[in-house]
């Protein structure tokens, strides 16, 4: 158990940040799922629009530190390739 005031504060802060980061990752996953659903539906224009919306979300996740840069790049690349193949 934390005994010092700064350790107690760090625990409170970590809990708040974990909640915020969980919400951020969830939001990113939702955008990616929308692209995948449009791809599965075979609608190229909808998939392209969903991809256009998902790319800034992935980039924001990298900027906020909830996603690794290469992970976001890999996801964007794979989604772009799948949309182009429609």
| Residues 80, 82, 84, 86, CA torsion sign | negative
What total number of domains does the chain contain? 1
pLDDT of 19: 97
pLDDT at 2 over 90: no
Report long-range pairs for 28-35 (Cβ below 8 Å, ≥24 apart). 28/54, 28/57, 28/58, 28/60, 28/61, 28/66, 28/67, 31/57, 31/58, 32/58, 32/75, 32/79, 35/79, 35/83
Write the CATH number for 67.
Answer: 1.20.58.110
Mean pLDDT for all residues in the chain: 95
Query: What's the pLDDT tens digit per position in 17-47?
Result: 999 999 999 999 999 999 999 999 999 999 9
Q: Which range marks the domain in which residue 78 is found?
A: 5-84
């Amino acid at each position: 158990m934390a005994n010092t005031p700064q350790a107690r504060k760090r625990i409170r802060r970590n809990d708040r940040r974990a909640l915020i980061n969980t919400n951020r990752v969830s939001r990113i996953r939702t955008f990616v799922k929308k692209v995948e659903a449009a791809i599965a539906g075979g609608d190229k224009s909808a998939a392209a629009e969903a991809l256009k919306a998902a790319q800034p979300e992935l980039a924001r996740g990298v900027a906020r530190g909830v996603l690794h840069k290469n992970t976001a790049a890999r996801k964007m690349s794979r989604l772009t390739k799948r949309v182009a193949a429609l």
